[in-house]
Amino acid sequence: MNIINSAKEIQSSLQNIRRELHQYPEISRNEKRTSELIIRELKKLGNFEIKENINGYGIIADLKGKYPGKTIALRADMDALQIEEETSLPFKSLNKGVMHACGHDNHVTMVLGAGMLLSKYQNELHGNVRLIFQPAEELSPDGGAKGMIKEGALEGVDAVFGMHVWPDLPLGKVGLKVGPLMAASDHFTVTIKGKPSHAAKPNEGIDAVVASAQFVSATQTIVSRNSDPMKALVITIGKIIGGSRYNIVAGECTLEGTCRTFSPEIRDLAERRLQEVLNGICTLSGCTGELNYERGYMAVDNDSKITEYMSNNVKSLFGEDALVNVEPAMTAEDFSFYLNEKPGVLAWIGTTAEGEEVFPLHNSHYAPNEDVLWRGSALFTELVLNFNK
């Protein structure tokens, strides 16, 4: 069999599926039309056992091979983002304010493509394959992965694979790394309360904005002076709301931010020090403060043996030059929860052809090259067919 040729033969079908998904994106927990499309395509194949409405609109589809062997899971996330699309694509989003800016339409299509090919090769398949279509990946800190796992998505599974489209990699390249690939992602909210007064008489009040500014500045010393410089830590405060009028000393201020880490120890340090810094600022200013720290996604930690297996398959399918050893990113993915339960790997697959402008994920102009579709489908198929040999 020639996996690449077979994948190229279904490219037009893959494009049609992806474009329909792209035109009708749905945000987390609202993926009804998306799930209906997936079920429609799976039923066309005729040999998948389909379970619907898993953890909301999630889907599990199982294909039994002709020969005994282990069960491999392929996972795709389904949801889109609350972003107004600004591409010039003829199939741009028709849902105002919603866009597949993270490429999940491609993920769904590639796993469906693998399903099409594996359905064709069922008589050559050793073991079984499970397709997992997961809602709400973007819904940090909870996400959809934990719910899928709780409802049995990984029962009987021996290994799990995922791919994420990656604009920083050229089309045709696959990025892999053993160990931490993407960061743990936590969300925190801080409320600082002071005492309002006239702006001309600040001595009669307690300024929550000044205390908040001191807190923002002091948190960066957690990174620069408390954390091991050889272990990654990012603390970003992206939202501040405070005050009611320009000539009133603010009585309250709310801040929201995120911590990104790879190490559990650094994660614990960040949470502890945020509370200690807040306590210190409140003592200094006379304010009161409250920290609400929510642990979100775990770090994506790729299994060494499974990563080596995938690396070998990338090279055998696409050639030695297709494999790229990548550095980790501080972005997050709830695929980490699957990897916490089963050995597996998340790979990055390049989407930018030579000469094309690079737009990042979560950008309103992101438009991955569609030739990633047959490539991802082929690689998923290769991984499944070779796993039990």
Mind telling me the catalytic residues? 297, 370
Residue 95 phi/psi, 5° resolution? -100, 110
What's the CA gap between 349 and 310, in Å, rounded? 12
> Considering just the CA atoms, what is the radius of gyration of the chain in Å?
24
What's the CA gap between 159 and 156, in Å, rounded? 9
252: amino acid identity, one letter: E
Strands of 49-54's sheet in order across = 49-54, 58-64, 126-134, 67-77, 159-170, 344-352, 174-176, 323-325
The sign one gets for the Cα dihedral 209, 210, 215, 221 is: positive
139: amino acid identity, one letter: L
Which helix or strand (DSSP H or E) is residue 118 part of?
helix 104-120
273: amino acid identity, one letter: R
Mind spelling out the 3-state secondary structure of 320-368? Answer: HHHEEECCCECCCCCCHHHHHHCCEEEEEEEEECCCCCCCCCCCCCCCC
